[in-house]
């Protein structure tokens, strides 16, 4: 249904988690391998299992506004680990939290995203159904909330490109405020996509 990407440090991620939970309409379900069917839920920013979240950096957003089915797990692996089946649960919105990292000798700002599958599966009938309107609305509100706490800049994949119109498009990029300050120091890079490395001076302030 939707995918929105943004960039930040772990400090930015903690701020984001706090803002999500303060809305009162979401609870975070940690996306990790489970030994049993008791999921790890986060309902308050004072109860964040930081080490676990920092390791997985992935969770699902459950809400009484759009989640009508219980959490469904896939068949356990040979190591007796179960993972949450996003298609048959909830429905749910997935979120991946950014963190800074090092790659190829560069200090880099990590990427996060919120994502919802284009369809879900009723766990009882196995029929497909479209994301409910309440989920679409919540996704839009979540996206706007994230943008509110970030700096907006622009990047251009291939400047003066003759390859295609798409390749020369200027695209927006959303950066957490802590990450943005690190970029300004000149010691950090922003890795956009799989191949593009940007410094603070490479980013455009407008189209």
Confidence of residue 29 (pLDDT cuts 50, 70, 90): very high
3-state SS class at 46: helix
CA dist 203 and 162 (Å) reads 21
Res. 164: pLDDT tops 80:
no
The domain locations on the chain are 2-149
**Considering the entire predicted model, what is its pTM?**
0.87
Cβ pair 137, 147 in contact under 8 A:
no
Question: How open is the CA angle 97-99-101, to the nearest 5 degrees?
Answer: 145
Least confident residue range of 115-119, 189-193, 197-201: 189-193
Place of tokens 């940007």: 198
Residue 168: its pLDDT value, please? 58
Least confident residue range of 33-47, 153-167, 169-183: 153-167
Residue 157: its pLDDT value, please? 65
Which residues fall within 8 angstroms of residue 126, CB to CB, at 6 or more apart? Answer: none
Tell which wins on pLDDT, 127 or 23: 127
Q: What does the DSSP assignment read for 111-158? A: EEEEEE-S-EE-TTT--EEPPPHHHHHHHHHHHHHHHHTEEEEEE-SS
3-state SS class at 191: strand
């Amino acid at each position: 249904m939707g995918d929105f990407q943004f960039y930040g440090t772990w400090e930015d991620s903690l701020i984001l988690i706090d803002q999500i939970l303060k809305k009162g309409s979401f609870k975070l379900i940690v996306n990790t391998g489970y030994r049993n069917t008791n999921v790890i839920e986060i309902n308050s920013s004072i109860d964040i299992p930081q080490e676990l979240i920092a390791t997985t950096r992935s969770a699902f957003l459950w809400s009484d506004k759009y989640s009508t089915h219980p959490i469904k797990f896939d068949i356990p692996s040979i190591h007796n680990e179960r993972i949450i089946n996003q298609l048959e649960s909830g429905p749910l919105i997935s979120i991946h939290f950014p963190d800074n990292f090092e790659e190829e000798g560069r200090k880099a700002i990590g990427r996060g995203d919120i994502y919802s599958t284009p369809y879900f599966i009723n766990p009882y009938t196995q029929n497909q159904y479209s994301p409910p309107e309440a989920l679409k609305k919540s996704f839009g509100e979540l996206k706007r909330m994230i943008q509110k706490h970030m700096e907006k800049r622009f990047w251009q994949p291939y400047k003066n490109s003759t390859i295609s119109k798409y390749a020369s498009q200027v695209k927006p990029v959303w950066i957490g405020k802590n990450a943005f300050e690190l970029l300004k120091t000149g010691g950090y890079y922003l890795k956009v996509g799989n191949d593009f490395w940007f410094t603070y001076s490479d980013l455009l302030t407008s189209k």
